[in-house]
């Protein structure tokens, strides 16, 4: 049911937790199924210098939070903004139809990250 | 008695069969056992499940070691209450992977339930657990409803809209036994008019059943009342309630008022109204019999605990916090501490079935949330209606 990327990030996440004084907080969720990811970030200049997340929901959506954090830490926000849906899909690996809503979650995380960090610039 | 049960289970294993799957397929036969024989059989299944999770699950083994409980500690039926419990809240955690007794690659299905907090409780089932839950629930439906034909109106969204919701999975298992069915909550709206139309179309062609959360049946009845209409369902019809009696507002619905309204507006007798109790985190399902007594699935054990001292069971008849011991759970330990207050009905059952019968009383007062998928459906319908009225 789960590809290796999802298994690794779900069972051994690196970025779970809270940042004491986050500069940016983004929340992505679906009120019907209950998937919810909360991400906290610190931005230095245009670089995401620290990031953490908390997630609730299916294994794939929890893993999505960790994969997202892993992919943005240390990256420049203007480069993150260039990513597209094809890129998000590749980040998560091969998914079953019941897991593909996590591509939407990944896309929404990126959209909100760009929107919120722009406000800091 | 336990020795005999152990020998019986060994015989099943010697034939190359699974004692759990054989037991789940033998609901009627288990209910026909004497109380002590059934207890001995359950004891063996639960002890074996406990040993399996103790050996396979590092996190759970740590919990057991902390509580100083090992498989050797469980020698008699009374000892079952020593089995360490997992609070249902742990199924909501970011780190709920720790609950798995099998590798994540063995998980076939994720089922969830979302209460008032909106945070889903996710239960992960491996292939054997999916087999077990399908066998167990289907066998309970057969035992209490005997349904193999007819039509059912499901007053809830179709699985296509919320495929991972536990409540909806229950409708799937029932619909497979029927000639036809229809889901009446679509894209966040419930149409009472269409529900009535459907029941009228089926009249004289099928035994007509309704399965739904109680609040949605009351919505349908409110429509019948307003339009000064009543219907007469069939003598073999069932009104099957799922999802609990609390509205998303916190209001507790009265079962007596509900039954009276069903009898008046849907033309059924009291014995045709059947409530069910189940949790996403467990595979043990309970259903009302023809006398309104809710029977626990015979392979599971409901251990009712003193809310102030959870290691103690309260006597039958006394209310307490429900712990479920579920030997059908293979992917995660099925020893779950719920947030529900129930009591075990004392004495013999009116229907002659062996085993436990429960009365649901209320949500545990310190619970941080209440409800399941049904509460969420209720909230979404009300919010959608409020938005429509405003616009």
Nearest-Cα distance to chain B for A70, in Å, is 17
The minimum CA-CA distance between A121 and chain B, rounded to whole Å, is 32
Is a pLDDT exceeding 60 seen at residue A92?
Answer: yes
A contacts of B105 (beta carbons < 8 Å)? 1-2, 7
Is B169 part of the contact surface with chain A (CB cutoff 8 Å)?
no
B117 CA to chain A: closest CA distance, Å? 9
Choose among B349, B344, B357, B347: nearest CA to B317. B344
What are the start-end ranges of the E strands in chain B?
Answer: 86-87, 107-114, 120-126, 151-154, 180-183, 185-186, 189-190, 208-212, 239-241, 273-277, 286-288, 294-296, 301-306, 309-313, 320-325, 335-344, 357-363
All residues of chain B having their beta carbon less than 8 Å from the beta carbon of residue A57 are 112, 120, 122
Residue limits of CATH 3.40.50.12780 in chain B: 2-106+294-363
Question: Which among A11, A16, A34 is the nearest to B114, CB-wise?
Answer: A34
Task: Name the 3-class secondary structure at A29.
Answer: strand
Map residue B321 onto helix, strand or coil: strand
CATH architecture of B131-291+370-390: 3-Layer(aba) Sandwich (3.40)
Chain A residues close to B120, C-beta within 8 Å: 33-35, 56-58
Neighbours of B6 (CB within 10 A): 16
Mean pLDDT of A80-108: 94
Interface test with A, best of B57, B95, B98, B104 (most A CBs within 10 A): B104
Please tell me the distance in Å from B371's CA to the nearest CA on chain A: 14
Q: Which residue of A has its CA nearest to B377?
A: A32
Q: Is the pLDDT of residue A32 over 60?
A: no
pLDDT in tens, B337-348: 998 999 999 999
Ordered by start, the domain boundaries in chain A are 4-120
Contact (CB<8Å) B107/A2: yes
CB contact under 8 A, A2 and B92: no
Q: ipTM higher than 0.90?
A: no
Nearest to A33 among B94, B112, B124 (CB): B112
Residues in chain B, pLDDT under 50: none
Higher pLDDT, B248 or A84: A84
Please indicate whether, in this complex, the C-beta atoms of A57 and B120 are within 8 angstroms of each other: yes
CATH topology of domain A4-120: Sufe protein. Chain: A (3.90.1010)
Touching check for B92 and chain A: CB below 8 Å?
yes
Q: Looking at beta carbons, which residues of chain A come within 8 Å of B123?
A: none
Tell me how far apart the alpha carbons of residues A59 and B127 are, in angstroms, rounded to a whole number.
Answer: 17
The Cβ of residue B11 has, within 10 Å, a number of other Cβ atoms equal to 11
Fold designation for B2-106+294-363:
Rossmann fold (3.40.50)
CB atoms under 10 Å from CB of B116, counted, come to 18
CB contact (8 A) between residue B122 and residue A11: no
Residues 6+ apart with CB under 8 A from B72: none
Question: Across the interface, which of A31, A32, A58 has its CB nearest the CB of B110?
Answer: A58
pTM as predicted: 0.90
**DSSP state letter for A22:** -
Q: Does B197 touch chain A (CB under 8 A)?
A: no
**Is A2 near chain B, with CB under 8 Å?**
yes
Separation between Cα atoms, residue A93 and residue A64, nearest integer Å: 11
Task: Give start-end residues of each CATH 3.40.50.980 domain in chain B.
Answer: 131-291+370-390
pLDDT at A52 over 80: yes
Pairing of strands B107-114, B286-288: unpaired
- Tell me the pLDDT tens digit for each residue of B232-244: 999 999 999 998 8
CA distance A7 to chain B (A): 7
CA neighbor of B137 nearest in space, from B182, B179, B177, B89: B177
Task: Determine whether the interchain pair B120/A10 forms a contact, defined as Cβ–Cβ distance below 8 Å.
Answer: no
Buried b / exposed e across B310-336, counting CB within 10 Å, b at 16+? beebbeeeebbbbbbbbbbbbbbbbbb
For range A10-35, the mean pLDDT: 87
Structure tokens at B83: 């089995």
């Amino acid at each position: 049911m789960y590809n290796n990327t999802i298994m690794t990030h779900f069972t051994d996440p690196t970025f779970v937790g809270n940042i004491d004084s986050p500069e940016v907080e983004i929340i992505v969720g679906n009120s019907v199924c209950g998937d919810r990811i909360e991400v906290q970030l610190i931005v230095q200049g245009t670089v995401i210098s620290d990031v953490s997340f908390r997630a609730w929901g299916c294994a794939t959506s929890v893993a999505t939070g960790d994969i997202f954090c892993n992919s943005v830490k240390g990256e420049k926000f203007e480069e993150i903004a260039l990513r597209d849906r094809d890129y998000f899909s590749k980040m998560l690996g091969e998914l079953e139809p019941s897991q593909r809503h996590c591509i939407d979650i990944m896309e929404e995380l990126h959209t909100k990250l760009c929107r919120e960090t722009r406000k800091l610039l | 008695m336990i020795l005999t049960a152990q020998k019986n289970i060994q015989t099943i294993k010697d034939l190359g069969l699974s004692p759990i799957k054989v037991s789940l397929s033998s609901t009627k036969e288990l209910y026909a056992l004497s109380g002590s024989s059934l207890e001995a059989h359950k004891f063996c299944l639960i002890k074996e499940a406990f040993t399996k999770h103790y050996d396979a699950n590092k996190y759970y083994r740590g919990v057991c070691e902390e509580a100083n409980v090992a498989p050797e500690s469980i020698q008699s039926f009374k000892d079952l209450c020593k089995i360490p419990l997992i609070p249902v809240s742990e199924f909501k955690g970011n780190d709920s992977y720790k609950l798995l007794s099998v590798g994540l690659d063995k998980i076939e299905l994720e089922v969830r339930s979302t209460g008032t907090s909106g945070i889903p409780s996710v239960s992960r089932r491996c292939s054997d657990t999916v087999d077990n839950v399908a066998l167990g629930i289907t066998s309970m439906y057969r035992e209490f409803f005997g349904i193999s034909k007819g039509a059912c109106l499901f007053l809830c969204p179709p699985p296509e809209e919320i495929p991972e919701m536990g409540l909806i999975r229950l409708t799937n298992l029932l619909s497979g036994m029927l000639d036809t069915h229809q889901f009446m909550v679509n894209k966040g709206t419930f149409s009472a008019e269409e529900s009535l139309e459907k029941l009228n179309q089926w009249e004289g062609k099928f035994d007509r059943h309704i399965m739904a959360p109680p609040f949605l049946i009351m919505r349908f009845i409110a429509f019948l009342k307003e339009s000064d209409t009543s219907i007469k369902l069939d003598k073999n019809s069932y009104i099957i309630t799922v999802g609990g009696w609390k509205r998303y507002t916190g209001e507790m619905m009265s079962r007596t008022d509900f039954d009276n309204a069903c009898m008046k507006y849907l033309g059924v007798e009291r014995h045709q109204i059947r409530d069910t109790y189940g949790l996403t985190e467990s595979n043990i399902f309970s259903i009302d019999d023809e006398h309104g007594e809710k029977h626990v699935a015979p392979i599971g054990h409901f251990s009712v605990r003193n809310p102030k001292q959870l290691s103690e069971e309260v006597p039958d008849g006394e209310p307490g916090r429900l712990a479920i011991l579920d030997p059908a759970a293979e992917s995660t330990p099925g020893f779950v501490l719920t947030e529900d207050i129930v009591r075990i009905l004392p004495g013999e059952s009116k229907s002659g079935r062996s085993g436990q019968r429960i009365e649901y009383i209320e949500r545990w007062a310190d619970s941080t949330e209440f409800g399941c998928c049904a509460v969420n459906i209720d909230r979404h319908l009300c919010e959608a209606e409020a938005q429509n009225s405003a616009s």
